[in-house]
């Protein structure tokens, strides 16, 4: 779908053109949760999970994000295909969504949170031929169902994609459409940069901007006159202010191996794996050798190409800092030898290494030997 066509389709097409079922579904209030269902405590933080990986949808279990359940499954023939955009596009969408939620206790992630966590999931992928840009199963007044599934079409523009994601997630948090071109809850994408605005806007039914009373007035009227909604205040009320990121990432250099030797000419990459509860994000990445800064960049990955570095001993440290200043680092030492150097042959493999499967060995012992063989050499 082109961006121009999408301008009209953020929420839903006018009822005359749109799938009538979809129109109705998007504007219905959520049914009350069953008695005894665990309620969300007001002001407690939550997660928004942007699922780029697609899913086989389940039915008969409401809209539970943990199990990929959706009452809209039939609209998508039970399946949402993965988003085909590259890492840069995913990161752009993630950053745009994160930016609009920065003031609220909502963590935006692209990996599924642990099972005991509440999260709204927006499936961002191939929805098949549709007349809408995004759809939510209902308006969940007060977020009484804390883990809902909704859907967004896979736009490559981060501005467009993020607005669709935010609007569908917001429906599952109890926000309705408003006539406000600067607000994320405007029923179609506008030329403006849209955000959750701290103003009371008139609630509307559809893209014709027909005003209606609203379905979630118990919440709306905490902040506005009847028939109006303040998306900013409601999100703050539901999830509280933003929560500092206190969890440091971890970093492990994967290559080169510690103690490696190269003979010129030699081009190789220094690559490290980052793990983080808020991965991916943009880190400040620095590379030093013997304490001297060689490079500093902002990136979501650690990958430096070293092309014919001068001969010598290297002692490199990679350090990453996340947006909140949490730090991780790892170190690798290696040697670059002048062209023509003959390196000694690598030591013979321990011949016992070939007998690992011998039945006489006990499993625990086997595992230990395997570990010794597999473990990369590290500094003491």
For residue 125, state whether it binds Zn ion (rule: CB under 5 A). no
For residue 214, state whether it binds Zn ion (rule: CB under 5 A). no
Cβ proximity to Zn ion: between 110 and 172 the closer is 172
Q: Which 161-200 residues touch Zn ion, going by CB under 5 A?
A: 167
Q: Which residue's CB atom is positioned nearest to Zn ion?
A: 11
E strand residue ranges, the chain: 46-51, 55-56, 79-80, 106-109, 119-124, 134-135, 149-152, 201-202, 228-229, 250-255, 260-263, 267-275, 283-289, 292-299, 302-307, 312-321, 327-337
Beta strands 79-80 and 106-109 are: unpaired
Provide, rounded to whole angstroms, the least separation between the CB of residue 138 and Zn ion: 11
Cβ proximity to Zn ion: between 151 and 334 the closer is 151
Cβ proximity to Zn ion: between 210 and 350 the closer is 210
x/- contact string, 49-88, with Zn ion (CB under 5 A)? ----------------------------------------
Instruction: Give the containing element (helix H, strand E) for 220.
Output: helix 217-220
Cβ proximity to Zn ion: between 91 and 93 the closer is 93
Among the listed ranges 4-12, 221-229, 296-304, 334-342, the one in contact with Zn ion (CB under 5 A) is: 4-12
Question: How far apart are the C-alpha atoms of 118 and 126, rounded to whole Å?
Answer: 25
For residue 92, state whether it binds Zn ion (rule: CB under 5 A). no
Cβ proximity to Zn ion: between 65 and 178 the closer is 178
Among the listed ranges 11-19, 88-96, 99-107, 328-336, the one in contact with Zn ion (CB under 5 A) is: 11-19
Provide, rounded to whole angstroms, the least separation between the CB of residue 228 and Zn ion: 17
Among the listed ranges 9-17, 82-90, 228-236, 351-359, the one in contact with Zn ion (CB under 5 A) is: 9-17
Query: Could you tell me how many residues of this chain bind Zn ion (CB under 5 A)?
Result: 2
CB of 204 closer than 8 Å to CB of 228: no
Which residues are CB-neighbours of 363 under 8 A, at least 6 positions away? none
CA 360 to chain centre: 48
Cβ proximity to Zn ion: between 149 and 167 the closer is 167
Question: How far apart are the C-alpha atoms of 241 and 239, rounded to whole Å?
Answer: 7
Provide, rounded to whole angstroms, the least separation between the CB of residue 160 and Zn ion: 14
Provide, rounded to whole angstroms, the least separation between the CB of residue 244 and Zn ion: 31
Cβ proximity to Zn ion: between 63 and 167 the closer is 167
Provide, rounded to whole angstroms, the least separation between the CB of residue 233 and Zn ion: 19
Query: Which is nearest to 176 in space by CA: 4, 28, 377, 336?
Result: 28
Question: How far apart are the C-alpha atoms of 377 and 380, rounded to whole Å?
Answer: 9
Q: Identify the residue among 6, 9, 11, 214 touching Zn ion (CB under 5 A).
A: 11
Q: Is the dihedral of CA 132, 133, 136, 137 positive or negative?
A: positive
- Alpha-carbon distance values, 59 to 63, 118, 139, 149, 215 (Å): 8, 20, 19, 12, 25
Provide, rounded to whole angstroms, the least separation between the CB of residue 184 and Zn ion: 9
Provide, rounded to whole angstroms, the least separation between the CB of residue 209 and Zn ion: 13
Compute φ and ψ for 49, nearest 5 degrees: -105, 110
CB of 134 closer than 8 Å to CB of 168: yes
- Helices and strands: H and E segment counts in the chain: 7, 17
Q: Which 265-324 residues touch Zn ion, going by CB under 5 A?
A: none
Question: How far apart are the C-alpha atoms of 303 and 254, rounded to whole Å?
Answer: 10
Cβ proximity to Zn ion: between 163 and 167 the closer is 167
Side by side, the strands of the sheet bearing 250-255 are 250-255, 267-275, 302-307
Cβ proximity to Zn ion: between 166 and 328 the closer is 166
Cβ proximity to Zn ion: between 30 and 332 the closer is 30
Side by side, the strands of the sheet bearing 327-337 are 260-263, 327-337, 312-321, 283-289, 292-299
Among the listed ranges 49-57, 75-83, 160-168, 288-296, the one in contact with Zn ion (CB under 5 A) is: 160-168
Chain contacts with Zn ion (rule: CB under 5 A): 11, 167
């Amino acid at each position: 779908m082109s961006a121009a066509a999408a301008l009209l389709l953020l929420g839903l097409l006018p009822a005359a053109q749109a799938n009538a079922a979809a129109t109705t579904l998007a504007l219905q209030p959520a049914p009350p949760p069953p008695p005894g269902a665990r309620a969300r405590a007001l002001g407690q933080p939550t997660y928004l999970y942007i699922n780029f990986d697609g899913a086989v949808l389940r039915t008969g279990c409401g809209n539970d994000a943990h199990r990929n359940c959706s009452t809209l499954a039939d609209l998508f023939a039970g399946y949402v295909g993965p988003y085909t955009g590259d890492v840069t596009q995913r990161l752009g969408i993630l950053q745009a969504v994160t930016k609009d939620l920065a003031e609220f206790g909502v963590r935006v992630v692209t990996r599924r949170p642990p099972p005991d966590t509440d999260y709204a999931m927006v499936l961002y992928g191939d929805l098949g031929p549709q007349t809408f840009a995004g759809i939510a199963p209902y308006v969940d007044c007060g977020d009484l169902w804390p883990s809902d599934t909704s859907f967004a079409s896979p736009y490559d523009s981060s501005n467009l994609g993020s607005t669709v994601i935010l609007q569908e997630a917001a429906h599952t948090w109890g926000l309705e459409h408003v006539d406000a071109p600067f607000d994320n809850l405007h029923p179609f994408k506008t030329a403006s940069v849209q955000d959750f605005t701290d103003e009371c806007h008139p609630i509307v039914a559809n893209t014709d901007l027909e005003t209606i009373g609203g379905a979630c007035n118990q919440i709306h009227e905490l902040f506005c006159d009847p028939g109006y909604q303040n998306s900013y205040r409601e999100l703050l009320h539901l999830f509280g202010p933003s929560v500092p990121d206190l969890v440091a990432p971890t970093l492990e250099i994967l290559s080169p191996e510690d103690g490696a030797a190269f003979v010129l000419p030699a081009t190789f990459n220094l690559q490290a794996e980052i793990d983080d509860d808020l991965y991916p994000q943009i880190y400040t990445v620095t590379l030093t050798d013997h304490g001297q800064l060689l490079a500093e960049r902002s990136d979501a990955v650690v990958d430096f190409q070293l092309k014919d570095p001068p001969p010598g001993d290297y002692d490199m440290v990679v350090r990453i800092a996340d947006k909140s200043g949490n730090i991780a680092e790892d170190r690798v030492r290696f040697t670059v030898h002048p062209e023509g150097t003959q390196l000694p042959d690598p030591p013979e493999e321990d011949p016992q290494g070939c007998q690992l499967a011998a039945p006489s060995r006990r499993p625990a012992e086997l595992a230990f030997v395997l570990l010794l063989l597999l473990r990369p050499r590290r500094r003491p």
